[in-house]
Structure 1
Amino acid sequence: MANRDIVAIGTSAGGVKALIALAQNFPEQLSAAVLVTIHLPADAKSVLDEILTGAGPLPAHFAEDGETMRTGHIHIAPPGRHLLMEDDRLRLGHGPRENNVRPAIDPMLRSAAICCGPRLIGVVLTGTLGDGASGLWAVGACGGITVVQDPADAEFAQMPETALERVRADHVVGLADLPKLLARLVDQPAGLPVPVPDGLRFDVEIARTGRAAMHELDHHGRRSVLACPDCGGVMWEFDEGELLRFRCHVGHAYTAEMMTLALDENVRRAIASALRGFEERIALVEKLAEQSEHDARPSLAANWRQRAIEYRREIAVLEEALQRMDRAGSRVVAE
Structure 2
Amino acid sequence: MPVLNRAVGQSRSPIVVIAASSGGLEALFQLCRLLPANFPAAVLVVLHTSPIGPKLAAGILDSKIAMPVSYAHSGEEPQLGHVYLAPPDHHLVLSADGRMSLNKEPKVHHSRPAANPLFESAVAVYGSHVIGVVLTGGDSDGADGLRSITGAGGVGIVQCPSEAYDPSMPIATMKEDHPQYILPVEEIGPLLSKLVSGSRREALEVHGR
- CA–CA distance in structure 1, aligned partners of residues 64 and 22 of structure 2: 19
Counterpart of 1:138 in structure 2 is 148
- CA–CA distance in structure 2, aligned partners of residues 4 and 179 of structure 1: 17
Residue 193 of structure 2, aligned match among 183, 190, 202: 183
Residue 163 of structure 1, aligned match among 168, 173, 177: 173
Whichever residue aligns with residue 151 of structure 1, its letter is P
Whichever residue aligns with residue 126 of structure 1, its letter is T
* C-alpha displacement of 1:176: 1.1
- CA–CA distance in structure 2, aligned partners of residues 16 and 2 of structure 1: 29
Q: In structure 2, do the counterparts of structure 1 residues 12 and 77 end up closer, same or farther at CA, with 3 Å as the change threshold? A: same
Please give the secondary structure, in 2, of the residue aligned with 1:49.
helix
Counterpart of 1:19 in structure 2 is 28
* C-alpha displacement of 1:2: 4.0
Residue 92 of structure 1, aligned match among 102, 116, 120: 102
Counterpart of 1:37 in structure 2 is 46
* C-alpha displacement of 1:132: 0.7
Q: Does 1:6 align with 2:15?
A: yes
RMSD: 1.4
* 5+ residue gaps, structure 1: 191-335
The superposition leaves residues 203-247 of structure 1 with CA deviations (integer Å, 9 ceiling, x where unpaired) of xxxxxxxxxxxxxxxxxxxxxxxxxxxxxxxxxxxxxxxxxxxxx
TM-score by length of 2: 0.87
* C-alpha displacement of 1:44: 1.3
Counterpart of 1:128 in structure 2 is 138
Whichever residue aligns with residue 174 of structure 1, its letter is P
Pairs within 5 Å for 1:186-335:
186-188=196-198
- CA–CA distance in structure 2, aligned partners of residues 120 and 188 of structure 1: 13
- CA–CA distance in structure 2, aligned partners of residues 102 and 52 of structure 1: 20
Counterpart of 1:72 in structure 2 is 81
- CA–CA distance in structure 1, aligned partners of residues 176 and 123 of structure 2: 17
Asked whether the 8 Å contact 2:45–2:83 carries over to 1, the reply is: yes
- CA–CA distance in structure 2, aligned partners of residues 18 and 135 of structure 1: 20
Asked whether the 8 Å contact 1:109–1:136 carries over to 2, the reply is: yes
Whichever residue aligns with residue 37 of structure 2, its letter is E
Residue 83 of structure 1, aligned match among 92, 100, 104: 92
TM-score by length of 1: 0.55
Structure number with bigger Rg: 1
Asked whether the 8 Å contact 1:26–1:183 carries over to 2, the reply is: yes
* C-alpha displacement of 1:186: 0.7
Bigger relative contact order, structure 1 or 2 (CA pairs below 8 A, ≥6 apart): 2
- CA–CA distance in structure 2, aligned partners of residues 111 and 152 of structure 1: 30
* C-alpha displacement of 1:189: 7.8
* C-alpha displacement of 1:127: 0.7
Asked whether the 8 Å contact 2:11–2:126 carries over to 1, the reply is: no
Whichever residue aligns with residue 157 of structure 1, its letter is P
Residue 154 of structure 1, aligned match among 155, 161, 164: 164
Whichever residue aligns with residue 121 of structure 2, its letter is S
The superposition leaves residues 183-206 of structure 1 with CA deviations (integer Å, 9 ceiling, x where unpaired) of 00111289xxxxxxxxxxxxxxxx
Asked whether the 8 Å contact 2:16–2:132 carries over to 1, the reply is: yes
- CA–CA distance in structure 2, aligned partners of residues 59 and 8 of structure 1: 16
Counterpart of 1:51 in structure 2 is 60
Counting helix residues as a fraction of each chain, which structure ranks higher? 1
Please give the secondary structure, in 2, of the residue aligned with 1:55.
coil
Asked whether the 8 Å contact 1:15–1:127 carries over to 2, the reply is: yes
* C-alpha displacement of 1:23: 2.3
* 5+ residue gaps, structure 2: 1-9, 201-209
* C-alpha displacement of 1:118: 1.2
Counterpart of 1:108 in structure 2 is 118
* C-alpha displacement of 1:116: 0.6
Please give the secondary structure, in 2, of the residue aligned with 1:25.
coil
- CA–CA distance in structure 2, aligned partners of residues 155 and 142 of structure 1: 29
- CA–CA distance in structure 2, aligned partners of residues 53 and 3 of structure 1: 26
Asked whether the 8 Å contact 1:5–1:71 carries over to 2, the reply is: no
